[in-house]
């Protein structure tokens, strides 16, 4: 077994995830310290902030609380595996074999049943749309010809690791 020691002192095996060892405080803490874009943004912007922005965008679009929670947790597996950039992840089929069951275990813990096709599409459309705005704001670089509209106004500012962690936890508590 290959285990990692989490923030809350749990020995967790990301290759064989146990639902009762998945702790929201571990997820919020780790994601608040993981920088998006592999650290290439002009300023620190965490996976935690991205997740909060995605959940708030789902709320602004009028999506269900379940989809909002799924948005908040859509990168939660990265708390145990780290963030791997999309181009690299696409070339690592084994990573996907590890990430998918872990992410599904995390979602199952708090969402119950798996996301349906529509919910899944909503979550990852928001993920892509927020990502485009991150690059415009944090890199002054437009990824595609057309910038998608957002219903919310994401906060891309850094307010401290603990502040972002607490915002994630508070939003989680209000949605679960």
- How confident is the model over 130-147, as pLDDT tens digits? 999 999 999 999 999 999
Residues written for the chain: 176
User: For residue 158, with 0-12 CB atoms within 10 Å meaning exposed, 13-18 middle and 19 or more buried, which class applies?
Assistant: middle
- CA–CA distance, 68 with 150 (Å, rounded to integer): 15
Q: What is the CATH number of the domain that holds 48?
A: 1.10.3210.10
Residue 141: count of CB within 10 angstroms of its CB = 10
pLDDT digits over 83-135, tens only? 888 888 889 989 989 999 999 999 999 999 999 999 999 999 999 999 999 99
Percent of the chain with pLDDT strictly greater than 70: 99
Q: Report DSSP state, residue 4.
A: E
Provide the number of structural domains found in the chain.
Answer: 1
- CA–CA distance, 64 with 105 (Å, rounded to integer): 20
SS3 at position 35: strand
pTM: 0.96
pLDDT digits over 69-79, tens only? 999 999 999 99
SS3 at position 137: helix
Percent of the chain with pLDDT strictly greater than 90: 91
Per-residue pLDDT at 159 exceeds 90: yes
Are 102 and 21 in contact by the 8 Å Cβ rule? The answer is no
Contacts of 17 (CB under 8 A, 6+ apart): 80, 101, 102, 105, 106
pLDDT digits over 35-71, tens only? 999 999 999 999 999 999 999 999 999 999 999 999 9
Q: Which of 147, 159, 168, 166 is nearest to 50 (CA)?
A: 168
Strands (E), 32-74: none
Kindly state the greatest CA–CA separation across the chain: 46
Q: Between the CA of residue 17 and those of 51, 55, 134, what are the distances in Å?
A: 21, 24, 31
Are 132 and 143 in contact by the 8 Å Cβ rule? The answer is yes
HSE of 149, CA atoms in CB hemisphere, 13 A? 3
Task: Print the domain residue range for 92.
Answer: 4-175
* pLDDT for the residue numbered 131: 96
């Amino acid at each position: 077994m290959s285990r990692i020691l989490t923030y809350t002192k749990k020995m967790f095996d990301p290759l064989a995830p146990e639902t009762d060892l998945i702790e929201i405080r571990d997820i919020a803490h780790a994601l608040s310290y993981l920088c998006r874009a592999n650290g290439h943004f002009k300023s620190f912007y965490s996976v935690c902030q991205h997740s909060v922005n995605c959940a708030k965008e789902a709320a602004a679009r009028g999506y269900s609380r379940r989809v909002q929670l799924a948005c908040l947790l859509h990168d939660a597996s990265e708390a145990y595996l780290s963030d791997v950039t999309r181009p690299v992840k696409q070339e690592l089929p084994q990573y996907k074999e590890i990430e998918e069951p872990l992410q599904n275990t995390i979602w199952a813990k708090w969402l119950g049943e798996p996301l349906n096709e529509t919910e899944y599409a909503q979550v990852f459309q928001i993920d892509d749309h927020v990502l485009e705005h991150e690059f415009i704001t944090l890199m002054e670089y437009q990824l595609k010809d057309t910038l998608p509209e957002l219903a919310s106004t994401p906060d891309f500012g850094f307010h401290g690791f603990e502040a972002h962690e607490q915002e994630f936890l508070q939003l989680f508590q209000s949605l679960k």
